[in-house]
Chains A and B, each alone.
Chain A
Amino acid sequence: MNHTWRLGILGILAVLFIGLYMFIDIGPYWDYVLPRRAKQVLAIVLVGGAIAFSTVVFQTITNNRILTPSIIGLDALYMLIQTLIVFVFGSMTLVTMNANIHFLMSAGLMVVFASFLFRLLLKREGNHIYFLLLVGIIFGTFFSSISSFMEMIIDPNEFVVIQDQSFASFNNVNEDLLMISIVMLVAVGLYFIRYMKYLDVISLGRDHALNLGVPYDRVVKHLLFIVVLLISISTALVGPITFLGLLVANIAYQFMLTHKHSLIIPGAVLISIASLACAQFLVTRVFTFETTISVIINFLGGVYFIYLLLKENKSW
């Protein structure tokens, strides 16, 4: 079975799950339901694509298959921002806040934080990526601790609002935000094109990449920044969902059986869209909102992660 075939199968799966979600239980008011669902599907495609893409790139840069970009602490920062708003201004402010302002503020702060981290840690020569990640973990834990502290002392009713924010949800995506996100993602995509060719070589590691003429430190810095932009946009759009990336990136490696990023990335993006559409279908139609998309993805991801750890002694 060659690679085009494999991509074709994934494409069919993605379309199938999207179709399931769009058309099952459509009811008599399809002219209201369909555009609404189409918007959610668009969000699934954007977020699924961004998460899969950024995780594959991140794992290539770090040369590690069990890391996700959430390790930099962006998810934790997002939750801290939400908690802080509720803590200082009350949950009404968060709920009634203009969605565009909320989106730009959340995404903006995440990008600012990451840029600050990079500026601080990538100045010096050599391979400081693991050091960067370590500092990221510490910041992430710090952000989470502050969030939990504030959650502990606020009114329990206010806490419910925060908790609601901590689960990614595709049910209430805003039309304007989708447009903004599309524009931003296209811009990031254009920015990425010139670095695309380096990814395969970077997966060999720093020394080999330098030997083969890749301006390694510069390229890696730009790629990391692209990862941060994508994660910030998708997190601000639907909430923290980076765990998904671990799952889909690894399934993509296993399924595509190649080292070429021109095949792995599309594969991962399609798997990501298919699994998000499937999870969204399960949440809305089977569990009728009894659970959240994060729970389903974290459950599947967790099971897969354990499987991965158990068989990591064999390479791939």
Chain B
Amino acid sequence: MAHMAPPDDELNWIRNSLAGDTEAFAALVKQYQKMVYALVFRMTGSLDDAEDLAQETFLRAYQQLDSFRGEAKFSTWLCQIAVNLSLNWHAREKRRGDVHSKWAGNSIVENEGNDEFPDELSRRVQDALDRLPAKQRAAIVLTVYENHSHAEAAKLLKCTEATVSWRVFAARQKLKRWLTGISHEQL
């Protein structure tokens, strides 16, 4: 989770970015890059794609900065862009040769080859997240990892609160099944 910048600093960075100061925008990137990177990694399960999507998130944010009204926190606004880009990425990948199903089948192999996970539990959890349908994964990422309420997540995902609750419920059922056997000693 990103450390909060003093609101005045953040406001100045946004104002200066709107005036075309890319270095001010770089300060915003520095502030929120870890949050965005973690979010898109959980959504994609891939380091390379996470890097691309994180970069795309910030580029899109810069492009749309004049539409940021300050009604929500800047981090929430960024979150929305990152999640929507990730969902689009999934849809794109699915269109390209139905990678979605291939992904679910091969994700374990892919992550087994990825030795950058800090521990076995982290790898198993990401494998389980990778197997979830993209929208259910987004609901879990927003509510569990980003601590948004179901109502906030519904706004970000542009669906009803009931839909988010159902997605979270369905995702939890699957995750519990897939993650059984993780003992408390591993926690």
Is this pair of chains taken from one and the same complex? no
